[in-house]
A and B are shown apart, each in its own frame.
Chain A
Amino acid sequence: MKPVLECVEVKKHFAVGRRSRLHAVDDVSFDIAAGESVGLVGESGCGKSTLVRLVTRMLDPSAGDILYRGRNIGFIPARSFAGTQFRPKIQMVFQDPSDSLNPRYTAFEAIAEPLSRLAGVQEAKELRLQVEEAARRVGLPEELLPRYPHQLSGGQKARVGIARAIVLMPDLLVLDEPTAALDVSVQATILKLLAQLKRELGMSYLFVSHDLNVVRMLCDRVIVMYLGRIVEQGPAQQVFDAPAHPYTRALINAIPAVGGRPEAREVLAGEPRSPIDPDPRVCRFFGRCPRQVDRCRQEEPVLREVKPGHWAACHFA
């Protein structure tokens, strides 16, 4: 069976000034199988959000192919993508539910909008039926549907955001830090809800998060990005237990843990290199890497398979 999503050497470069180009996403290739959940992690500025906007087709790639079930959707201009049959299939849950919900829409209207706009459901009775069904799936009590966002708690707003994304039964749900704005007590219920929805509806997830513990719990596979490139990808448990790239190692090391000893932690020195016209010969992690040698600035390492299904871009992996 064809993967739900396939990215092949996808690039997004932004022009900076007259000559320079900012390499936000550089030659990124990965796929997501049906029913699989893939985590996407990396620091701010690594290109996560740009990649998400490319995949959800809100942004046009500079080069490369984006395939949905084997059909190339990368060339469809982002502006007209909403009019295609693919829009209902790839949906997104945005970061802060307080910012991403229209304050003048009730919960009902927010969930009904994709139905009427993209699926052509116009009849009031049918609309109500489907909205209530979605609300039930995400555990949003029916009596909250007439409420406006400011009358809902953070967790309830998160549920509206998820209901609105799943109401069209997409194949791929892209979640951009869906729990970052929530307290741990609420985060746990939302994570459980997401795990349950995936089981029930068989959707694939692309789950962007900076909380690696959350990614480990929810995802089958994880992709680690650094400065526009994928530096490591593989089965989540394996990547966390035996990271092959020094950046992944530093990232995992930096997660605070109850009873952890910060003294024993190796803190990454310095700032990331500039993403503007990066030198194609130098490893992107050069300058911050604890293991760097001369070779790392003469030859940029490419992704290679270190274990079946586990790839890393490091000379030492």
Chain B
Amino acid sequence: MSLLEIRDLSLEFRTRSGTVHALEHIDLAVDRGETVGIVGESGSGKSVLSYAAMRILDPAARITRGAINFAGLDVLAASEHDMQQLRGREMAMIFQSPRTALNPIRRAGRQIEDVLRVHTTTLRAALKEKAIEALARVRIPDPERRYSAYPFELSGGQCQRVMIALALACNPQLLIADEPTTGLDVTTQAAIMELVRDLARARSMATILITHDLALASEYCDRIVVMHAGHVVEEAPTATLFRRPRHPYTAQLIASTPTPEKTIASLSSIPGNLPDLRRTDLPSCRFLARCERSLASCGTQPLPSVSLAAAHRVHCFHPL
């Protein structure tokens, strides 16, 4: 059984301007030690899906069907107390823009101590030492000194390292990294991603990497899940996905990503926008209006899930 199993999850937000059908029929499984990428445009539901897994959703969110299972625990039925035990200890998350995610008026080392105090049985006298150890593990130079630094005294890359130290302080089984390097320089991005990968390998920790950067996902993920407008449209082992994308959206996403070989002329763009997820008459295929391959029959039936080669699934009436 997988470490994290999400089955047939549908989720909506009740808003004043209507119900947003944010996720529909999502299946996702993450095994121990595996790195899974979730890619898609903003608004595709990547982050909401991971928030659902941790049950840190906005109060306006309602899960209308499906199940989430984490290491044998029914996440949707668990008590808030059990979830608090789980979060930070068994599953942890690192966020985009680390500087705003850290407490600005608390020293970096103290923030790590807070996590240790809540989730572990570390003795009070050993807290500082453990916190400095955690900082050293994320390769922060001069950890003794950085222990007493406030977030504003650290660079963006170092703040993200502190976040990672916080997230990994209790050796979680699952790390959710939500755009961990957006806003960081490419050189810093490379260092941070290498750090996450090395730490994950060393503890056979499962990682979910949420990103809009296909190239980044291709380098660090074993498997990639492509989302569009609240649907999983395709999921495949990384090499397979890039060698032979089967969903038109995946193919277009790959074609619109700048690479050294492409010119402006050969760069393709995806026409249209995400559909308004408040619509009550959303077609079963939410890519329909943007798809070059759509047929008259598309969208009239429930969206099929086509299993192709090993671990390769596509949700399309008319795959490539």
Contact = CB atoms under 8 A, between A and B. Distances in A.
A and B held together in a complex: yes
Nearest to B186: A254
Given A183-B41, A210-B186, A256 B267 contact: no
Contact of A262 (B155, B186, B194, B242): B194
B264 A217 contact: yes
Nearest to A42: B185
B245 to A, nearest CB: 11
Contacts, number: 116
B190 A188 contact: no
A80 interface: no
Nearest to B184: A44
Nearest to A268: B187
A258 B190 contact: no
B188 A43 contact: yes
Interface residues of B, number: 43
Interface in A242-284: 250-251, 253-262, 265, 267-268, 270-271
Interface residues of A, number: 42
Nearest to A262: B219
B215 A257 contact: yes
B5 to A, nearest CB: 28
A213 B258 contact: yes
B273 interface: yes
A259 B187 contact: no
A268 B188 CA distance: 8
Given A212-B186, A213-B260, A189 B191 contact: no
Interface stretch (B6-14, B116-124, B128-136, B248-256): B248-256
A195 B188 CA distance: 29
Contacts of A184: 41, 212, 214, 253, 256-258
A211 interface: yes
A213 B216 CA distance: 13
A255 B186 contact: yes
A256 B188 CA distance: 12
Interface of A: 43-45, 153-155, 183-189, 191-192, 195, 210-214, 216-218, 240, 250-251, 253-262, 265, 267-268, 270-271
15 contacts: A44-B156, A185-B41, A188-B268, A212-B186, A213-B260, A214-B258, A217-B262, A217-B264, A257-B218, A258-B259, A260-B219, A261-B219, A265-B190, A265-B194, A270-B141
